[in-house]
């Protein structure tokens, strides 16, 4: 059974703090690692897709890294703002089995206090 783990489950930070989350996934038959941001009452928003070991992606104050050999990815948010409050989901896709369906972690819920 393929399993994706995310930590922490939840995080409360002050505006301006920097923070990071971890996603661990199976390292065999890896195809891609996806990060999504999901704000309440909205659609999950795709942040990054990473496929290569050592990949680093950046979007504004948010960045992510990927280590496929050891099976983990980090998401960093620099200078958190209240609008960053959301659940951050990572998802793994594999060459094994279905063509491209995503296996999600349970998410990290971030709350940023002004």
Partner 1 sequence: DTGVSQDPRHKITKRGQNVTFRCDPISEHNRLYWYRQTLGQGPEFLTYFQNEAQLEKSRLLSDRFSAERPKGSFSTLEIQRTEQGDSAMYLCASSLAPWDTQYFGPGTRLTVL
What's the Cα-to-Cα distance from 24 to each of 33, 34, 102, 111, rounded to whole Å? 10, 12, 14, 22
Which 78-97 positions form the footprint of partner 1 (CB under 8 A)? 89, 91, 93
* Closer by beta carbon to partner 1, 19 or else 30: 30
Q: How far is the CB of 63 from partner 1 (least distance, A)?
A: 18
Does 46 help bind partner 1 (rule: CB under 8 A)? yes
Q: Which of 20, 26, 72, 103 binds partner 1 (CB under 8 A)?
A: 103
Q: How far is the CB of 112 from partner 1 (least distance, A)?
A: 22
Q: Is residue 61 within 8 Å of residue 79, measured between CB atoms?
A: yes
CA distance 23 to 75: 8
Q: Is residue 38 within 8 Å of residue 86, measured between CB atoms?
A: yes
* Closer by beta carbon to partner 1, 9 or else 14: 9
CA distance 78 to 103: 27
Q: Which of 49, 55, 57, 63 binds partner 1 (CB under 8 A)?
A: 49
Does 43 help bind partner 1 (rule: CB under 8 A)? yes
CA distance 112 to 85: 6
Q: Which residues bind partner 1 (CB under 8 A)?
A: 4, 6, 31-32, 34, 36, 41-46, 49, 89, 91, 93, 98-107
């Amino acid at each position: 059974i393929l399993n994706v783990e995310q930590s922490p489950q939840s995080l409360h930070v002050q505006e301006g703090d920097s923070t990071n989350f971890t996603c661990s996934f199976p390292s065999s038959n890896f195809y891609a690692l996806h990060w999504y941001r999901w704000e309440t009452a909205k659609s999950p928003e795709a942040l990054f897709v990473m496929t290569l070991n050592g990949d680093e992606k950046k979007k504004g104050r948010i960045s992510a890294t990927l280590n496929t050999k050891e099976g983990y990815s980090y998401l960093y948010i620099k200078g958190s703002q209240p609008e960053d409050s959301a659940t951050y989901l990572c998802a793994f896709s594999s060459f094994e089995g279905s063509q491209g369906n995503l296996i999600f972690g349970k998410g990290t819920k971030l709350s940023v206090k002004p």
